[in-house]
A and B are shown apart, each in its own frame.
Chain A
Amino acid sequence: MKNKIVPFLVFFFFIFIFFVFYKSLNQTNIYTPNVNLNKNIPEFEAKIFKSNESFSSKDFMLNEYYLINIWASWCAPCRLEHKYLLELNDINSLKMIGINYKDLKLNAENFLNDLGNPYDLILSDDNGKLSINWGAYGVPETFIVFNNKIVKKYTGPLNEINVQEIRKILSQ
């Protein structure tokens, strides 16, 4: 009897492993950390793009929707998503804040002159620390903020579907 148990256990073990691998094949492997949903926005203070003033997390107003977009002139996908940002600019109730990531002022200005400036406010992140505070790891990334909480996060360039999602969130 005992000698029958071992083979059965072994077989079941391998069948189990098979199903785990099978399931894992059907999952995507691009990791998007979901940790930031409904988390509070980070405490920070940052310099505004062309002035010496600063903007801090305390300056976020309640009952207002904010869109935070991390971008750079040297980032190719940022160019692709830019038109969607300009589209979202139509929404008056959405305040758009851009975080210019590790960029030269001149290049950033040229970028905005060429493609248009959708931002109500631009912050400078010369060393990348601000973006890390937000939990981003690349460019572009976009956050929707409401009542000091991160409501939605997009990693990578925005697309049509994302824009529709954002409009939906805002209309609630």
Chain B
Amino acid sequence: MLPSVIGKYSLIFGFLISFPIFYYSFIDYKKSGNLNTKIISFSFLQLLFILISFISLIISFVISDFSNETVFNNSHTTKPLFYKIAGTWGNHEGSLLLWLLVLTLFVFIFLLTSKKQIKSYRILTTIFQQIIIFGFFVFVIKTSNPFSHIFPDPNEGLGLNPILQDPALAIHPPILYLGYVGASIIFSSALSATVLNYISSSWASHIKAWTYISWIFLTLGILLGSIWAYYELGWGGFWFWDPVENVSLMPWLALTTLIHCLIVLEKRTLLKSWVIILSITTFTLSMSGTFLVRSGILNSVHTFANDPERGIFILLFLFSLIILSLVIFFFFNKNQDKITSNFFWLSKDTSLLINNWFMMYFLSVVLIGTLYPIFLDVISSEKISVGPPFYHKLIAPFLLFFLVAMAIGPKLSWIKSKFVEKFSLISFFGISLLLSSYLVFKLNIDFLINTLLLSTAFFLFLITFKDFFINKTKNISQKISHFGFALFILSVLLNNFLSSEIVTNLKVGESYDDGKVKIYLEKVEKFKKQNYESVIGYFDITDQKNKTEKFKPELRIYNQPVIITSEADIKTNLFYDKFLVINVVQNQNYFNLRYQFKPLMSWIWISVLIISMGGLTNLLYSRNEK
């Protein structure tokens, strides 16, 4: 139908625009004078075509045009409108169109906002970005076309996975992609600056804004994904070290490290090689993530359609980009850090270097844990699983030192520091240690590692909190983000220690009572909804203070495709979450239920918001940074 046709040709036109963009860029590169405005115009035109294409796809979904294969595979007439629209980017082809949209949008914005930069840098960045865009166009048009036609037109679609019909998940991809794909500008820009020997303090100031934008979206995108997992998947967890989760965490780690390195580069003209490598790494990890998720070599909750042909294409594309960046790095990067005359161990430079060291370690743990099973399988046909215990064991001990370093590092001055706050640091550490040992002892859990973790987390929390009251607006964005991080670690630890769970079976009319919590199943009702049948259990749960709350967890039996999902009933407040899930037991007339009491859950989400707010603060007020 018409929107599909428009979308298809718009996509092809967008692809063709690559050629004039390359052409004019190459010609204008060596010329003197201002940037040829044709480059900007064509970039805009390319963006426009993709936008039209994307909107056409949305329309095709909304009108349920099943002659379009993508719509057929991923939609259904009974789906609510909001999810029809969200279905556009919830599938492989549509999500790639979104990639293209963000790629073209960002390079266009880059051209508009970089007018003060030197021309060759702007053009070279555009060229590198256009290489990426070109690759994606070929990939989409050849292997993942969202506008392929099927004949005869089916009457009904195959429906979207009902687990994906959720508000948080609807906006999770766009936000996450703004982060992932935003890193493309950093990549292109860094390569360009390397070739032109433009890695400098002024370049750092210029590219900073882009890194913060990408970083904020990436942080929020990961947050949304975790919130969705918590509310929708019904197991009460928010992070499982699942390969696809890891694949979003890795660029985040690289990008966070990059932000810190840019601070150093801007101030002290050091760490140039780090900056280049991290810029390449962040985007490479984003793209590798794409490869891993779509190629079928990963086994996970989140994987998209498994298709090796697509996998091979992305693999070749990805490695071409990697080889290209490596060639540029080794050939053009003559940056040796200036050897400064005075150097002292106790300084901000060193602490940032240590930060990089630890962050790269964490990144390598996640990377190795995620990829190792694949390597082992190929090399020796042995299949193993690498799950949470691996990551916890390798990260926890190092996290201890990292948290302490985070508390002390920002207090040091550049080059040399007199350790003025010794007293308060030591006393805060002492307080944290005492408080934590007491808590851990009372909770009767593994003493040593938990006390240490909790102490360092408390310590960082107290220090970062106190920092708000010293020199109030200086380095405010760093204070906010670091405080957010401390709060995050603390919330996760305490939530982990203090959570409790009850698993039991109940028939209608039965009760469970263990002295602390009483759970009573009053009745069960069934309804028929738009595209599923709903079974709701009505529970009364009475806590220790004799307060009774009503819970209504639901089971949904979808018809297209046939899937049963469990919708937890979660009661949230600032202090704790109460989480109830029911499940059917095969051939029985009772229900299995899981009731969880989870303190401080909200603070986990809030703290991540705070972290991203620090980044936002920097974008808006970067005057008081040091």
Name A residues whose Cβ lies closer than 8 Å to a Cβ of B: 7, 10-11, 14, 18, 20-27, 29, 31, 74, 102-104, 107
Contact = CB atoms under 8 A, between A and B. Distances in A.
B587 A107 contact: yes
Given A7-B326, A20-B378, A25 B587 contact: no
Interface in B301-322: 306, 308, 311-312, 315, 319, 322
Contacts of A14: 319, 322-323, 326
B374 interface: yes
A102 B584 CA distance: 13
Given A7-B330, A22-B315, A24-B374, 15 more contacts: A7-B326, A10-B330, A11-B326, A14-B322, A20-B375, A20-B378, A23-B378, A25-B312, A26-B308, A27-B297, A27-B378, A29-B298, A74-B587, A102-B586, A107-B587
A8 B426 CA distance: 48
Contacts of B374: 20-21, 24
6 contacts: A7-B326, A21-B291, A23-B378, A25-B315, A74-B586, A102-B586
Given A7-B326, A25-B296, A25-B297, A20 B379 contact: yes
Given A18-B319, A74-B587, A25 B326 contact: no
A24 B377 contact: yes
Interface residues of B, number: 24
Looking at A14, A25, A31, A103, which has the most chain B CB atoms within 10 Å of its CB? A25
Contacts, number: 52
Contacts of A74: 586-587
A25 B374 CA distance: 10
Contacts of A107: 587
A25 B377 contact: no
B282 interface: no
Contacts of A26: 308
B299 interface: yes
Nearest to B588: A104
Interface of B is mostly: helix
Contacts of B296: 25, 29
Contact of A24 (B297, B306, B319): B297
B336 to A, nearest CB: 11
A29 B300 CA distance: 11
A72 B31 CA distance: 76
Given A26-B308, A104-B587, A21 B297 contact: yes
- Choose among A18, A22, A29 the residue with the greatest number of B CB atoms under 10 Å from its CB: A29
Nearest to A126: B587
A74 B295 CA distance: 33
A24 B379 CA distance: 9
Interface in B371-394: 374-375, 377-379, 383
Contact of A102 (B375, B379, B587): B587
A27 B377 contact: yes
Contacts of A104: 587
Contacts of B377: 24, 27
Which 5 pairs between the two chains have the least Cβ-Cβ distance? A7-B330, A25-B311, A25-B308, A104-B587, A24-B378
A14 B281 CA distance: 13
Interface in B470-516: none
A130 to B, nearest CB: 16
B383 A31 contact: yes
For B295, B308, B375, B587, the residue with the greatest tally of chain A CB atoms inside 10 Å of its CB is B587
B587 A103 contact: yes
Contacts of B306: 29
Contact of B297 (A7, A10, A29): A29
Contacts of B295: 25
Nearest to A16: B375
A3 to B, nearest CB: 9
B369 to A, nearest CB: 16
Contacts of A11: 323, 326
Nearest to A21: B315
Contacts of A23: 378
A18 B326 CA distance: 15
A25 B315 CA distance: 10
A102 B326 CA distance: 57
A148 B251 CA distance: 53
A22 B313 CA distance: 10
Contacts of A10: 326, 330
Contacts of B375: 20
A25 B308 CA distance: 6
